[in-house]
Chain A
């Protein structure tokens, strides 16, 4: 393999070196603020994902790290070194572009060796390293082809090999999987993650696909409208979203209006119209009054004669193979989605049936708007 392998340190934040430090970065296009004071600390050897809806500024942030955009305000540091003044060719960072941008007039091998050639690596070593990279992405036999003679998935891997060949400190990937079909995308997820682990290079990965983000990342930054909403590992992001945007953007969830009566030690008693009171996980500084809670569909189960936390009328049953999705209606008219595992014992609920549901311990989360 030949690449410097750094041992993974797990998630003990303070021990890790900072690979990319982004401090209060603002980027304006004319009067439009694409980034509104973004601060992030990306650790060495981390698979870090920027996740957010279209137009939230993910690409802009990535381009700022790569050096294709000058930021309006703020600092970007790479391993402690301020890189604001450096042109792209002097930043030890490489990019995998969304449309790959393989040089169409160069062979696959020349594409992969390009970065090394520009760095002045000798011909022999260049060839050896290019061959090694092509082997790593399983394209050894394709070195002499032109990019246009490869399939989309193969081009994708050439783009990866090309960006990894100069051994950057940080690899930036802008939605590299979005042009691939589902099967290939799922295979590439695993491959990318393995590549990150074997090379030990810090990956900054951009996507608007939350499933992709959850599957691959060590940590995720959820962005919306030029701002970072939450940073955390996939589990935290999914199970403890800090606000309504994050809860709704990551996965499927039920957001229900409730009245909060008393809050103490991260717990709150909430009243949901037509149900008995529930205990919800709440942020410390929450004040009593009208709020929303989030309940994930898979955290609900059929009461089956036991004591029900909620009752709802089934409106539709959607058969999804591994799962059953129930679209139901609460007594106050709010809709509720429930996901049940499709096990042998499950008899299909009927449309119009009134059913009792139980909520898993700790599954009700109060949201800040």
Chain B
């Protein structure tokens, strides 16, 4: 067998890698570092301080951020939960349902939000809400979030389900469990790592969504990303860097959790 080509030997591999990593991560690092800047400047270092983190919670903009954070977190929680329930049902139908009519179409519909440009969904959703005469606000954000969170919850759940043999459910049915009992007592616990992983992913996706939220939020309603955007329009202050760093930390924790839970689940099998 010929030795596989090692891409590390291509010319310029090192430089290209360095460039990509720089573009991706240096801004994040700068934001994180300057969130601890003592001075008000966003470019000149004035010594270490956690002053801006305090400002986020008690400063002049704190009430706005607090309300926005509450909206963001509650919407993310509700949307990811609803999306996960729908995704579990969809995954069971797609993976266990055999070859039913419209299977391909269903799959396409589930994964559509991953492929359609977000701005298109945003505009379409807004048009939809205004056409049917729903007032935009918390409810419309929630509905929009549930919709685009479904595919993110679906992917890890269906991947997990595909790895579970159907003999467990058959064994349960054989031992006098109804369909529903076989699902609740056997399949769902076995799927759980995928379900949790999907939920965490959906939560993060919902938490940091900006474009769609901005279109369907209505006046006076803010989530953290829209509140940050609103604040930045009046000039970037270091408190924005602090709040961004906090969100970054939450995201990293959730994504890591999602990954770890999936890994543990795979080992336990």
Q: What is the interface of chain A, defined by CB distance below 8 A to chain B?
A: 66-68, 87-90, 93-95, 97, 99, 101-105, 114-115, 118-119, 148, 162-163, 166
Closest to B192 in A: A105
Please give, as numbers and ranges, the residues of chain B lying within 8 Å of A115 by CB-CB distance: 175-176
11 A-B contacts (beta carbon < 8 Å): A66-B170, A68-B173, A87-B173, A97-B170, A99-B167, A101-B167, A101-B168, A101-B170, A114-B175, A115-B176, A118-B177
Task: Tell me whether B167 and A118 are in contact (CB under 8 A).
Answer: no
Task: Tell me whether A68 and B189 are in contact (CB under 8 A).
Answer: no
Least CB distance, B182 to chain A, in whole angstroms: 8
B interface secondary structure, majority = helix
Closest to B182 in A: A89
Candidates A89, A101, A105; contact of B178 at CB < 8 Å: A89
Task: Tell me whether A166 and B175 are in contact (CB under 8 A).
Answer: yes
Beyond contacts A87-B173, A103-B168: 16 other A-B pairs, Cβ-Cβ < 8 A, are A67-B173, A68-B170, A68-B173, A88-B173, A88-B174, A89-B175, A95-B171, A101-B167, A101-B171, A102-B171, A103-B186, A104-B190, A104-B268, A105-B190, A115-B176, A166-B176
Please give, as numbers and ranges, the residues of chain B lying within 8 Å of A87 by CB-CB distance: 173
A330 to B111 alpha-carbon distance, docked (Å): 71
Please give, as numbers and ranges, the residues of chain B lying within 8 Å of A67 by CB-CB distance: 173-174
Please give, as numbers and ranges, the residues of chain B lying within 8 Å of A163 by CB-CB distance: 174-175
Least CB distance, B100 to chain A, in whole angstroms: 16
Least CB distance, A190 to chain B, in whole angstroms: 26
Q: What is the interface of chain B, defined by CB distance below 8 A to chain A?
A: 165, 167-168, 170-178, 181, 186, 189-190, 268-269
A163 to B170 alpha-carbon distance, docked (Å): 13
Most buried by A among B171, B172, B269: B171
Closest to B169 in A: A101
Task: Tell me whether A66 and B174 are in contact (CB under 8 A).
Answer: yes
Task: Tell me whether A104 and B269 are in contact (CB under 8 A).
Answer: yes
Please give, as numbers and ranges, the residues of chain A lying within 8 Å of B268 by CB-CB distance: 104, 148
Least CB distance, A29 to chain B, in whole angstroms: 12
A99 to B170 alpha-carbon distance, docked (Å): 12
Least CB distance, B246 to chain A, in whole angstroms: 36
Most buried by B among A66, A89, A102, A104: A89
Task: Tell me whether B189 and A94 are in contact (CB under 8 A).
Answer: no
Nearest 3 CB-CB pairings of A with B: A115-B175, A118-B176, A101-B167
Candidates A103, A105, A166; contact of B171 at CB < 8 Å: A103
Please give, as numbers and ranges, the residues of chain A lying within 8 Å of B170 by CB-CB distance: 66, 68, 88, 95, 97, 101
Task: Tell me whether B168 and A118 are in contact (CB under 8 A).
Answer: no
Please give, as numbers and ranges, the residues of chain B lying within 8 Å of A68 by CB-CB distance: 170, 173-174
Least CB distance, A71 to chain B, in whole angstroms: 17
Please give, as numbers and ranges, the residues of chain B lying within 8 Å of A66 by CB-CB distance: 170, 174
Task: Tell me whether B175 and A94 are in contact (CB under 8 A).
Answer: yes
